[in-house]
Amino acid sequence: MSRYALLLAPSANRVYADQASRLAVAELAAFGSVLSSDISDADVTVLGGVEYLTFTGALSERDISYLSNLSSAYALFEQVDDLLRPLTLTPLARYDSDLITIPKYAGKTNEQFTKLVLNLTLLASASAERMLDGHLTVLDPLCGRGTTLNQALMYGYDGVGVEIDGKDVEAYKLFLQTWLKRKRLKHTAELVPVRRQGKRAARRLEVTMAASKDDHKAGAVQKITVLQADTTQLEGLLRGGVADILVADLPYGVAHGSYDDEGGITRRPLDLLERAVPGWLPLLRPGAAIGLSWNTKVAKRELAEDILLANGLALVPQAPLEHRVDQGIERDVLIARKTG
């Protein structure tokens, strides 16, 4: 058994209003589902004046590869007497990190938080052990300008998004195309109309890309599909069983509301959830997991849980993840699993 010390990214406490270590402890516990042996005694320890997340375990190389993807991981050390021995982190990073960090816009979900929710969801799903080597598909049915989809690309996965706002879909297309051109990566990107029962029902952004010329030649391409449509009316628009996990940041009910049937704004993200979940479920493979975040100031946790339970999902318990974002937003996370 060894004692390990994980240094958290300096940005983490800005994201979580000084709650970064508590969230990292919760995320570390979730990684337990894939590690080769148990980790214990996770704690925050000050070493040489700097805070570390310390824990006891016997990490194999593969365990370190898994933990390298912890959303706030910066550096990992093994404690040897009163010295720290550096262990090399090997995060999944198919592309340069500016794919994730460049986009900045009002209503963006923080990228580190998005990675946290994606990790927790993946680790609760039947695909957890394929995290490092699997070609998985991540669905974000409220995808905005693609923070979740970009994280999926980084991990080497495919992404499927749904977004009602055409301006967001167009902005995401423009960002990806510009970024891919600048990196000189082979790709295609087109926005095409989609018909349902003969009528124009939506638009679909289709992007294919490869991380290198060799990957492109070998056909190792990644795909992003974004449907510009109402997420509560997806019937017939997406293939069933397309996704291994679903990750979504619900409208906050503050500046960024959810659209109601009349195209206006509603302050009730749970109404949206209630109407959307039945249509999301058929898109998920058996054993898929759902990870949702939302503002508890406008929607109580128990009510969100009730919606998931009423749709036959099993809640996956987590250590407390609620945290303050700003004056109007207290954010929480719910993870559930499709049983059938």
Ligand X SMILES: C[S@@+](CC[C@H](N)C(=O)[O-])C[C@H]1O[C@@H](n2cnc3c(N)ncnc32)[C@H](O)[C@@H]1O
Number of residues engaging ligand X in binding (CB under 6 A) = 24
Return the number of other C-beta atoms located less than 10 Å from residue 328's C-beta: 12
| Residue 253-282 contact track with ligand X, rule CB under 6 A, x = bound | ---x-xx------------x----------
Structure token pair of residue 127: 């695909």
Cα angle, residue 149 at apex, residues 143 and 150 outer, rounded to 5°: 125
> Per rule CB under 6 A, is residue 232 in the interface with ligand X?
yes
Q: Among residues 109 and 121, whose Cβ is nearest to ligand X?
A: 109
Q: Among residues 104 and 184, whose Cβ is nearest to ligand X?
A: 104
Looking only at residues 139 through 178 of this chain, which bind ligand X when binding is defined by CB under 6 A? 142-145, 147-148, 162-165, 168
CA distances from 135 to 217, 257, 298, 330 (A): 18, 33, 36, 34
Beta pairing partners, 86: 77
Q: Among residues 162 and 176, whose Cβ is nearest to ligand X?
A: 162
210, 186 contact by CB (below 8 A): yes
Chain position carrying tokens 């310390």: 54
Q: Among residues 230 and 332, whose Cβ is nearest to ligand X?
A: 230
Q: Of 83-91, 176-184, 248-256, 331-339, which part binds ligand X (CB under 6 A)?
A: 248-256
Q: Least distance in Å: CB of 170 to ligand X?
A: 13
189, 169 contact by CB (below 8 A): no
Applying CB under 6 A, among 52, 179, 252, 280 the residue interacting with ligand X is: 252
Q: Of 45-53, 102-110, 197-205, 305-313, which part binds ligand X (CB under 6 A)?
A: 102-110
Q: Of 31-39, 101-109, 195-203, 284-292, which part binds ligand X (CB under 6 A)?
A: 101-109
Q: Least distance in Å: CB of 121 to ligand X?
A: 14
- CB-side neighbour CA atoms (13 Å) of 233: 10
Q: Among residues 44 and 254, whose Cβ is nearest to ligand X?
A: 254
For 29, phi then psi, to 5°, come to: -60, -40
Q: Among residues 196 and 213, whose Cβ is nearest to ligand X?
A: 196
Applying CB under 6 A, among 27, 158, 244, 249 the residue interacting with ligand X is: 249
Q: Among residues 3 and 256, whose Cβ is nearest to ligand X?
A: 256
Looking only at residues 106 through 125 of this chain, which bind ligand X when binding is defined by CB under 6 A? 107-109
Q: State which residue has the least CB distance to ligand X.
A: 144
Cα angle, residue 19 at apex, residues 16 and 24 outer, rounded to 5°: 95
Q: Among residues 111 and 244, whose Cβ is nearest to ligand X?
A: 111
> Per rule CB under 6 A, is residue 27 in the interface with ligand X?
no
d(CA 112, CA 325) in angstroms, rounded, equals 13
Compute the 3-state secondary structure of the chain and give helix, strand, coil in percent, each to the nearest 5: 30, 35, 40
Give the three-class secondary structure for 190. Answer: strand
291, 121 contact by CB (below 8 A): yes
For 268, phi then psi, to 5°, come to: -115, 85
> Per rule CB under 6 A, is residue 231 in the interface with ligand X?
yes
Q: Among residues 27 and 249, whose Cβ is nearest to ligand X?
A: 249
CA distances from 243 to 32, 78, 163, 246, 284 (A): 23, 37, 16, 7, 5
Q: Least distance in Å: CB of 143 to ligand X?
A: 6
258, 91 contact by CB (below 8 A): no
Residues that bind ligand X (CB under 6 A): 107-109, 142-145, 147-148, 162-165, 168, 230-232, 249, 251-252, 256, 258-259, 272
